[in-house]
Structure 1
Amino acid sequence: MKADIYQEAFKDFQSSATTDGSYLGINKAAKEQEAHMRMKVQEKLKEANLRLKEMKAKVSLTMKGNAIQLRATLPLKPGDTNIKSRQTKQYQISLNIPANLDGLKTAEEEAYELSRLISRKCFEWNDKYLGCKASQNIDINFGEIYDKFEDIFFQTRKRDIKSEHTFTEYKKVFKREFKSDLIVNKKNIEISLSKIDSSSKRFQGIKVASIICKYLEIDIDFQKLKLPIIPQKRDIPQDKVIIDGFDKFEKYYELNKHKKNPYWNSYLIYRLAYGLIANYGLRPREVFNQPDIDWFISEDNKDNTWKVHNDNKTGAREVLPFMPEWIELFDLKNKKALEMLKQRTDKIKSFSQLTIIVDKNSQWFKRIGLEFKPYDLRHACAIRAHLQGIPLKAAADNLGHSIEMHTKVYQRWFSLENRKKAMNTALNEKQEMKMLREQNIYLQKKVESLSLELEKYKLNKILI
């Protein structure tokens, strides 16, 4: 199986630690995986060349760009000459074989075939060996690429929950933006992308198109096709709204418990998730993807940290609560709710199962009448961290992204109300500092006055 070949090559792959959830961070991780796969192909190519040498084949393999070529000493091409007047010359033959593990197998077979022709002295320069372009990519349409998009995507990526999530999103974009009966070429890719009016959707389309172009070796300058990002309006909930929102779970349950639905108490899971996201600034998936409940309730967990599993967007991290008092307020150590969350998440064995529970979490927000989304609670943490005066690096690490991403998030969603809070806090602190300085001057003068009186008292004592 193709997938098995590539995933076997990723078994020893370890991604570098990152706290950057931005496109640049994700792109860096993808490039690391591509580099790892290229290294594996180079290792396998060396092994193939050793086998060819052992079999006394007169052909070797080389890697050039994204292709594997055959190298051999052959009769002169028609019209070619040799400066040493010989009738043979070393050539590198391109058969449009991709530089991947499947291509390597094909290249080795072609090398043996060419070696047999050389040994039998029956080699001829035909269209195949003259480098005439193979017709395999001519008139291929987007529908055909879509059908094998999974194989293409995972040829250079380790298959895990993170990459499965990315692939699923990319496949939706592929189907939405590229017509299946349209021929894949530079012009049609550019036309398809130019029809996307939304800057964010076009950016998604570009990410998918770049994978297609890399696979088919189509050269496009995507920078020219990007649209400027226009920030959308988003109301991030204030702390009072967040606290009121938590209470809505219980109210909804009380209003509907008479329906005798055996799953109604599952609201405890989603109320707990609400509190965890609100207090720790977690991504919703970080609540449900292999949570370490045993650690969270452990007596050794003195700082009440939440451990994010390594198999999440930006890897493992240990998160401190932004509002320690909310642990009690939101009943985050509720044993029944935590046990229910553990039982539910222990059953998750695939990306699709994880997606279902994350989607259900969003549905609960709508069900109980909340006017914001789960991710807004995370953004609220980024803003609150700034208002709390938490250093940027500490806040960014806690949220699992870069300082650049953290700054961009709280600046984008920083409302007038939050600006007023920040300015009032700064002014109050300034006023407080002024009062402290005045008190300090007063106390210094008082100390000086008392010191003088003490000296006078001592002097009078001596004179008496």
Structure 2
Amino acid sequence: MPKLASDLVTILVTPQNSAVDIDGRIAQANGRLKASKVRVSIERRGGMLWLRGTFPPKPGALQIQPYRQKLALGVNANPAGVQHAEKQARLMGAQLNLKQFDWTDWLGDRVSPLGTVGYWVERYEQNYWQRRARSLKSQETWQSNYQRVFVKLPSDQQLTEQVLLDAINATTADSQPRRRTVQALAKLAKLAGLEVNLSELTGNYSARSVNPRLLPSDTLIAQVVQSIKNPGWRWVAMVIACYGLRPHEVFHTDMTDFPMLRVLEETKTGARFVYPLYPEWADAWVLHDRVLPPLQILGMAGNTKLGAKVSGFFYKNKLPFRPYDLRHCYARRCFEFDLGVDLGAQLMGHAPEIHKKTYRAWIDEATYRKVFDRLIYRSDRPLPPTTLKDN
């Protein structure tokens, strides 16, 4: 067997070197490059190798003068890849010294070193699914957090800073779509080696406070959910009201330990347990008898579609509140019942910071008044010193 082929076989059958070993080889190669006064270095980003140096602006870039940039080599971070990267670095360094550097020498079949938007979106999707197993949940995350953003980009144009800025500016400032767009495009730019800082464009979006006066009373909630004629949708509305679930979570529940309800792992924040703050509702409404509405998409649709079905039912039937209003009212109850922040957050399946910053903002003056009256007018409250009689 020829030596080159033998070496290749050795590399292929040898167990994968650790990242530490590869980083050591990269450091040695960069040492040799520096000693040779080559102005290009090798970097590892995940399992791939890149070159970094001060290069002329890429076609389509806004800069005029040379600046620090990265170039994806498209080779794996293994011993053979490091050898190839070192050779490429020396070639690139020689072109820079002779003032013969031209980005077209490094493009291959691409329009520019950045490639088109469509090219890099395809690369990002491939990379995404290499890191994640496909499931209903991961597919839904891809569609809502990334595909929804990427589909609005001009796929046949170069991926440039201006293309990203145009897409961001097309969204409303300080909004959830703006935040999602910036986050997705920042990751796309990073993969393409496009050095832009988009973080300042994210804005100040946070979950919006609901006007407490728009939240229904518990009396109204009980009257409305019990009046729903369809038994499946009635059960859905009652469970959301009683346990404060997200709309889609009602389809991923286990009532084995009733009245405690278990939310299964298919949901946004994973498995958790939830107790009814009104156990009387759970008993009177016979919630342990699970009755789902006749939806053909059950077992096939992602959580977003399931949640949309619930919201659609509330809207079409003109119920006087939305599904999430029932969740907000459960949060209000957590405060009224003196549940600690950590416990309330655990029951609702979100971080304590969210419970404090978001849900407590929905507590209206009347709720605070109830808590104040209960504390101040209890019989064992500490009393002030005896008031002196008037002279």
Considering the TM-score relative to the shorter chain, is it more than 0.5?
yes
Residues 409-445 of structure 1: CA deviation (Å, up to 9, x unaligned): 2233233xxx21321341243123378979xx9xxxx
Cα displacement (A) at 1:369: 0.8
Does the Cα contact within 8 Å between 2:172 and 2:178 map onto a contact in 1? yes
Does the Cα contact within 8 Å between 2:26 and 2:82 map onto a contact in 1? no
1:367 paired residue number: 316
1:357 paired residue number: 306
1:228 and 2:204 equivalent? yes
Does the Cα contact within 8 Å between 1:305 and 1:321 map onto a contact in 2? yes
Distance across 2 between alignment mates of 1:330 and 1:54: 64
Q: Greater CA radius of gyration, 1 or 2?
A: 1
Q: 1:334 aligns with which of 273, 278, 289?
A: 289
Cα distance, 1:114–1:243 mapped onto 2, change above 3 Å:
closer
Which has more helix, going by share of residues? 1
Cα displacement (A) at 1:143: 3.3
Structure 1: gaps (5+ residues): 1-47, 56-60, 83-88, 118-122, 251-266, 442-464
Distance across 1 between alignment mates of 2:9 and 2:215: 60
Does the Cα contact within 8 Å between 2:30 and 2:41 map onto a contact in 1? no
1:324 paired residue number: 279
Q: 2:174 aligns with which of 199, 215, 219?
A: 199
Cα displacement (A) at 1:381: 0.9
Q: 1:168 aligns with which of 143, 146, 152?
A: 143
1:100 and 2:47 equivalent? yes
1:404 and 2:350 equivalent? no
Distance across 1 between alignment mates of 2:144 and 2:30: 48
Cα distance, 1:275–1:215 mapped onto 2, change above 3 Å:
same
2:69 paired residue number: none
TM-score calculated relative to the size of structure 1: 0.59
1:35 paired residue number: none
Does the Cα contact within 8 Å between 1:382 and 1:409 map onto a contact in 2? no
Q: 1:420 aligns with which of 366, 371, 376?
A: 366
Could you tell me which amino acid in structure 2 is paired with residue 432 of structure 1? Answer: R
Three-state SS of the structure 2 residue aligned to 1:432 is: coil
2:264 paired residue number: 309
Q: Which has the higher contact order (CA 8 A, sep 6+)?
A: 1
Distance across 1 between alignment mates of 2:144 and 2:280: 37
Could you tell me which amino acid in structure 1 is paired with residue 310 of structure 2? Answer: N
Q: 1:244 aligns with which of 217, 223, 239?
A: 223
TM-score calculated relative to the size of structure 2: 0.69
Cα displacement (A) at 1:97: 8.2
Moved more, 167-176 or 391-400: 167-176
Cα distance, 1:215–1:114 mapped onto 2, change above 3 Å:
closer
Cα distance, 1:376–1:130 mapped onto 2, change above 3 Å:
farther
Three-state SS of the structure 2 residue aligned to 1:325 is: helix
Cα distance, 1:268–1:178 mapped onto 2, change above 3 Å:
same
Residues 237-256 of structure 1: CA deviation (Å, up to 9, x unaligned): 22122113203421xxxxxx
Does the Cα contact within 8 Å between 1:71 and 1:91 map onto a contact in 2? no
Cα displacement (A) at 1:405: 0.5
Cα displacement (A) at 1:373: 2.3
Distance across 1 between alignment mates of 2:85 and 2:350: 52
1:388 and 2:351 equivalent? no
Cα distance, 1:388–1:216 mapped onto 2, change above 3 Å:
same
How many corresponding residue pairs?
336
1:459 paired residue number: none
Residues 343-401 of structure 1: CA deviation (Å, up to 9, x unaligned): 979961x4x35544332222111122124322221121111110121111111111111
Distance across 2 between alignment mates of 1:421 and 1:166: 36
